Amino acid sequence: MTKPDFCAPLLSALQNANSILLCTHIAPDGDAIGSILAMGMGLKALGKQAVMACQDPVPTKYGFLPHANEVVRADALAGKTFDAAMNVDAAGLHLIGDCREAYLKAPVRLQIDHHPDNPRYADVNWVDGKTPAAGVLVRYALEGLGVPLNEEIAACLYCAISTDTGNFRFNSTNAETFEVMAELMDAGLDIGSAARQLHSLKEKPHLLLLSRALLSLRVFADGKCARMLLTGRDYLDAQADTEHREGIVNYALDIPGVEMAYLAEERTPGKVKVSLRGLMPHDTSSIARAFGGGGHKLASAFQCEGHIASVCEALDKAFEAAVEKNE
């Protein structure tokens, strides 16, 4: 089951390189970490010198993955050169943060991504906006490189695919998703153990942060929209970090009747980060783009400057307009 040969230039570039830098986006999620780990293991199996890097540390919940401790921070790249550099799951060059300098120094720059609004910033771009997770594309890349799946690679790809599909609940999940999952199972994936680590276990800071978000819950637009807020004080009281907010926005979307939801955060005064979620037929990415962000149709985000109350007021109006448009 090989993807069309439009990925051939990327595979050729990887085959011709001896040293390869793999980067992913800041505040990495399961797709980001699982994908670069799987890719890194695959390239090393071919005898390549592969370095996996991210500006931010690997979130604690993904620390169980094989070789997660080998992902380095951007400062570890100082003075190093690579034959090629590849970004994975990074919809924009700015999203790799401090790794950007090392990425741009490479004579050959590649990327694998599944965000439809990706501007194709690399020399060789493999961007498929219809694929549910970057991990699926990494699976095809490994197949094209002749790397056989093993239990460790399977665990990382399962992390990538299951987290970005909402544990196979999102509309992006398709038959292709389960075809790849069948391959991972055949490769020895211990799905029971991995699923518990990824989708059942919750750290205390996450639960405390969730409780504060739920206290701020507001439903509006005749029950079709919902929002939650988090402040710097909330993070401080919960002893939480960025990684502990993952999945919180979905609680607002899971209310019966709610079609669109968002989580707005103001950890630093005057700087607001917003995560948007929606159900069909809504398009949250168009709203996110209006505020300078982007993403998928049903899952997007943006960051902006301003007071959180003003941002929420404008966003509430945009949500209400979107709901009226689709009535």
Q: Is residue 245 helix, strand or coil?
A: helix
In order, the DSSP letters of 252-321 are HHTSTT--EEEEEEEEETTEEEEEEEE-TT--HHHHHHHTT-EE-SSEEEEEEES-HHHHHHHHHHHHHH
**Strand pairing class (84-88; 124-127):** unpaired
Among residues 265, 266, 263, 252, the alpha carbon closest in space to that of 219 is found at: 252
Q: What is the pLDDT of residues 165-185, one digit of tens each?
A: 999 988 889 999 999 999 999
CB distance 260 to 284 below 8 Å: yes
Residues of the chain with CATH 3.90.1640.10: 5-200
pLDDT above 80: residue 83: yes
When the candidates are 3.40.50.150, 3.40.50.720, 3.20.20.60, 3.90.1640.10, the CATH number that belongs to 5-200 is 3.90.1640.10
Average the pLDDT over each of 1-10, 261-270, 274-283 and give the range with the smallest value.
1-10
Name the residue type at position 282: H
Which CATH number applies to 204-325? 3.10.310.30
Among residues 108, 91, 94, 93, the alpha carbon closest in space to that of 21 is found at: 108
- List residues bridging with 295 in a β-sheet: 300
Residue with tokens 């607001």: 272
For the chain, give the percent of residues with pLDDT over 70. 98
Among residues 240, 243, 244, the alpha carbon closest in space to that of 232 is found at: 240
Element (H, E) at 32: helix 30-45
CB distance 188 to 154 below 8 Å: yes
pLDDT of residue 325: 87
Residues of the chain with CATH 3.10.310.30: 204-325
Name the residue type at position 80: K
Q: What is the pLDDT of residues 283-295, one digit of tens each?
A: 999 999 999 998 8
Cis peptide before 281 (omega within 30 of 0): yes
In order, the DSSP letters of 207-244 are HHHHHHHHHT-EEETTTTEEEEEEEHHHHHHHT--GGG
- List residues bridging with 273 in a β-sheet: 265, 303
pTM: 0.87
